[in-house]
Amino acid sequence: MIHKIAVLPGDGVGPEIIQEGVNVLKAVQEKYKGEINFEFEHALIGGCAYDEYKTPLPDSTIELAKKSDAVFLGAVGDWKYDTLPPQVRPEKALLGIRKALNLFANLRPAVVFDELIDSSTLKPEIIRGVDIMVVRELTGDVYFGEPRGIETVNGKKAGFNNMIYYENEIERIAHVAFKTAMKRNKKLCSVDKANVLDCSRLWREIITNISKEYPEVELTHMYVDNAAMQLIRNPKQFDVIVTGNIFGDILSDEASMLPGSLGMLPSASLSDTKLGMYEPIHGSAPDIKGQNIANPIATILSAAMMLKYSFSLDDAAKDIENAVKKVLQKGYRTKDIYTQGTELTTTSRIGNLIVNELLRN
Ligand code: IPM
Ligand code: MG
């Protein structure tokens, strides 16, 4: 069986980190010769696609993604596109592909590696052992709600968006979250702002109803402001967090600071089929592009998530995770996670070291 992977490197550091991710996937193929086969096909997305086609998300890219088994994405965006009209900005491509592939469930794990305890700005005793999965709804909420725009209302300019969730959207993300909790420590915290927002009141009602189908999962609710505070006060209280698109965007960036660097965090965006999109949660970092210093680990761990969630290759996914751990244990670091006494190295070298570990075991 051949797994078809659409490779979309994107902008900024995207191409460098995706290259390392692809190398690691090729190493997996080598290790499981004859058993695991990947086919890679590249396409443009983001600013580089705009330069070529005058749109950040060409139809050909969507077509390729739709006929693939998984999408492997780097990052999109660069300063030089900041002045483009909103409809053709690189970020629009990200929202567009999520919607086009119906990727409504975004899984963002925040796991603290013991080896990196000192890279975090938080105290070791607070973060040691943290293992949180943020389940963020990805195709609804104020991100996509209509009406939206900037108009003149009673002589004044007004900017507006619509925070709206349909019950079916809340139900399907709830099922993903409860099922995720069932495979972990069976604790689910739903985050909303039900003390103020009607949209959140419906969210809470539906999550509570669905919880009856998962009696083993302990469900709690938390307001988003409190959740933001609790995440750094006592992150170990969390197992799985489920929340809407905008709160999930903010909280997952916050959670990424527990492990110390955005450069460590992978993500999976899933639909109700096996087709998923896998990308690091960090952006395109145009300030360091082309310097071979970006951390490729978030991307490499995203490849591991791809093996697990789209291809059900759990052993091979574990192999990647173990290889990453080994390289960290041996003290190799990119700049973002460097601390005294460790060895500072490059994007490509970290990638090579991970490939070597993978092939050794
Ligand atoms: C993310 C990013 C995107 C989002 C942006 C780039 C559109 O911040 O994936 O978290 O807001 O979803
Ligand atoms: Mg974000």
Q: How confident is the model at residue 361 (pLDDT cuts 50, 70, 90)?
A: confident
Closest by CA position to 130, among listed 254, 309, 274: 254
Q: How far apart are the CA of 249 and the centre of ligand 1, in A?
A: 6
Q: What are phi and psi of 240, to 5 degrees?
A: -115, 135
Q: How far apart are the CA of 253 and the centre of ligand 2, in A?
A: 6
Question: Tens of pLDDT along 60-98?
Answer: 999 999 999 999 999 999 999 999 998 999 999 999 999
Distance CA 117, CA 336 (A): 13
Q: Where are the domains of the chain?
A: 1-110+265-361
Index of the ligand 1 atom closest to the CA of residue 77: 6
Q: How confident is the model at residue 262 (pLDDT cuts 50, 70, 90)?
A: confident
Sign of the alpha-carbon torsion through 21, 22, 23, 29:
positive
Q: Is 40 helix (H, G, I), strand (E, B) or coil?
A: strand
Instruction: Name the class of domain 1-110+265-361.
Output: alpha beta
Contacts of 358 (CB under 8 A, 6+ apart): 24, 27, 28, 31, 319, 320, 323
b/e map of 9-24 (b: 16 or more CB within 10 Å)? bbbbbbbbbbbbbbbb
Distances (CA, A) of 88 to 75, 84, 122, 161, 223: 16, 7, 38, 19, 34
Question: Tens of pLDDT along 278-335?
Answer: 999 999 999 999 999 999 999 999 999 999 999 999 999 999 999 999 999 999 999 9
Closest by CA position to 15, among listed 53, 43, 39, 56: 43
Is the shortest distance between the CB of 133 and ligand 1 below 6 Å? Answer: no
Is the shortest distance between the CB of 249 and ligand 1 below 6 Å? Answer: yes
Best of 11, 89, 94 to mutate for ligand 1, by most ligand atoms within 8 A of CB? 94
Question: Tens of pLDDT along 157-211?
Answer: 999 999 999 999 999 999 999 999 999 999 999 999 999 999 999 999 999 999 9
Index of the ligand 1 atom closest to the CA of residue 249: 10
| Residues with a known catalytic role | 143, 193, 225, 249, 253
Instruction: Give the distance from CA 164 to its chain's centroid.
Output: 23
Q: How far apart are the CA of 181 and the centre of ligand 1, in A?
A: 24
Residue 84, judged by CB atoms within 10 A of its CB (0-12, 13-18, 19+), counts as middle
* Percent of the chain clearing pLDDT 90 (strictly above): 95
Length of the chain equals 361
Q: Is 124 helix (H, G, I), strand (E, B) or coil?
A: helix
Distance CA 192, CA 350 (A): 39
Q: Is 72 helix (H, G, I), strand (E, B) or coil?
A: strand
Q: How far apart are the CA of 34 and the centre of ligand 2, in A?
A: 38
Distance CA 31, CA 318 (A): 13
pLDDT at 119 over 90: no
Query: Relative to the alpha carbon of 269, which ligand is closest?
Result: 1
Index of the ligand 1 atom closest to the CA of residue 253: 10
Q: What is the pLDDT of residue 233?
A: 97
Q: What is the pLDDT of residue 194?
A: 98
Protein residues near ligand 2, an ion, with CB under 5 A = 249
Instruction: Give the distance from CA 56 to its chain's centroid.
Output: 20
Give residue for tokens 């052992």: 129
Q: What are phi and psi of 103, to 5 degrees?
A: -85, 80
